[in-house]
Structure 1
Amino acid sequence: MVINDSAPERSELEVMATVKCNGDAIHHSDEEVDLSCSSPETKIDSLVSNHPLKYVWTYWYLNDQRDKSWEKRLKVVSNFGTVEEFWALYVSIRPPSLLPTACDYSVFKKDIQPMWEVPENAKGGRWLITIDKSRHHDLLDVIWLEVLMAVIGQQFGKYTADICGVVVNIRNKGSKISIWTTDCNNDESNCKIGEILKQKLINPDIDSKIQRPIFDVLRYEDHQEVQNKSSSSVKAKHIITASD
């Protein structure tokens, strides 16, 4: 994970995961909407900022209360702009595999909402990883953290400028993890992001206990196509297979 071109090795970043809110990772019951340990902003802002990230990011949570509007279901968990703030937040909330069905986590650059309609996303698209229901607990948390660290840690190099954020959708038929980019027609950037994503996912350093391949296909989809059609009928603009 690269931090402003002078990053510690990834193993050092993993050691930072020992930073915990009140000493332990907190996992809340399904009834709770607040995913923080008490007040995330207060606790995280009190940390020493030793390893700044290039961008400040916002961690969002979409709850499963489908009787409410989408906007009312969407909550900001916290902002973070350093490695220490990220780990303090990450270990204090439930991993994706423990979220109820129909919930989402989104991590977007600050001031970009995780919505198709906002200007930064309106003409964009997403690289999509679909995780089969049978491998939900095996893969979901591992891939989510791997993708999240790659994006916030600048591992996409100059192409990180074209990335708006990352999303994990918890669904009955199979969960999804996606990287959202700002321009679906920027083929050079989008293809390079897909290639780098593939390399991250086939990295042998990822948990060796997980059965390979971690993914079969990566698909790049236009947001407007996704909105207008059911996901099963969306035509991918770009496809990368694990065997390529």
Structure 2
Amino acid sequence: MTDVQAAGSSDNITQEVKTVLNDAKDFNALHGLNSEWTLWFDNPSKRTSTSNWTANLKEIVTLKAVEDFWGVYNNVAIASDLPNGSNYHLFRKGVRPMWEDAANARGGKWGYQFQRSIGEKVNEHWLHTLLACIGESFDSSPDVCGAVFSNRKSCFRIAIWTRNADDQEACENIGRHFKSVLGVSHPLEYFAHSDSSKTGNSVAYTV
């Protein structure tokens, strides 16, 4: 994260710096993120065809600071309450959460499925994933494009999308840290986006 900055401060104005920790309502200091991130939402159940999928992909907000993140996280629906079939996406600003985006086209994803019996506990796993992204805690953080939460009838799914499926070292570094962030012991599998639309797509890496 970048240094604390007073919102709207000026060289000509001396302003008392108030953080969200000592003034939750009238704070004027922001803890900037190293990168800006955009939260998206889509509900596939409302699609009428594959061709109009982008019409159902909604850009919610772009986050520039830690305070932005918590303000949004605490005021949107929790992940486990999303309608069946819908998704949250948190991606770097300028990267659309779709395979066709230039940043994703040569990449892939790590994913893990949680049984629905986990209930609201899955929200902790999603929060930890989000914090790992905006906190740039992955060893190969520049290769992380974004994270996706999917609510399905049979499971909850959390995934991390990466930029380059051919970079095995970076992919496996990200996968190992993602596994640690989720706190799971079962193997995680990585699939290249280029294989995902094929029948019988194969696992590229496992950690």
- Common topology (TM > 0.5): yes
Rate the CA distance shift 1:190–1:65 in 2: closer, same or farther, 3 A: same
- Identical-residue share of aligned pairs (%): 30
Gaps of 5+ in 2: 5-19
Q: Structure 2 residue aligned with 1:76, among 52, 59, 62?
A: 59
Q: Deviations over 1:162-200 (max 9, x none)?
A: 111001111112121111001001111011111112222
Question: Quick check: 1:146 aligned with 2:116?
Answer: no
- Normalising by structure 1, report the TM-score: 0.71
Instruction: Report the CA distance between 1:49 and its aligned residue.
Output: 4.8
Structure with a larger share of its residues in helix: 1
C-alpha separation in 2, matches of 1:154 and 1:109: 11
C-alpha separation in 1, matches of 2:117 and 2:133: 27
Instruction: Report the CA distance between 1:122 and its aligned residue.
Output: 0.7
Instruction: Report the CA distance between 1:145 and its aligned residue.
Output: 0.5
Gaps of 5+ in 1: 7-14, 24-45, 203-213
How many pairs are equivalent?
188
Structure with a larger share of its residues in strand: 2
Paired residue type of 1:93: V
Higher alpha-carbon Rg? 2
Do the aligned partners of 1:47 and 1:84 also contact (CA within 8 Å) in 2? Answer: no
C-alpha separation in 2, matches of 1:57 and 1:50: 15
Q: Structure 2 residue aligned with 1:86, among 69, 75, 98?
A: 69
Partner of 1:105, secondary structure, is: strand
Instruction: Report the CA distance between 1:47 and its aligned residue.
Output: 7.0
Runs of 4+ in 1 over 6 A off after TM superposition: none
RMSD: 2.4
- Normalising by structure 2, report the TM-score: 0.82
Corresponding residue for 1:180?
A: 161
C-alpha separation in 2, matches of 1:198 and 1:167: 15
Instruction: Report the CA distance between 1:138 and its aligned residue.
Output: 4.2
1:21-32 alignment runs, 5 A limit? none
C-alpha separation in 1, matches of 2:175 and 2:3: 21
C-alpha separation in 1, matches of 2:192 and 2:101: 15
Corresponding residue for 1:124?
A: 107
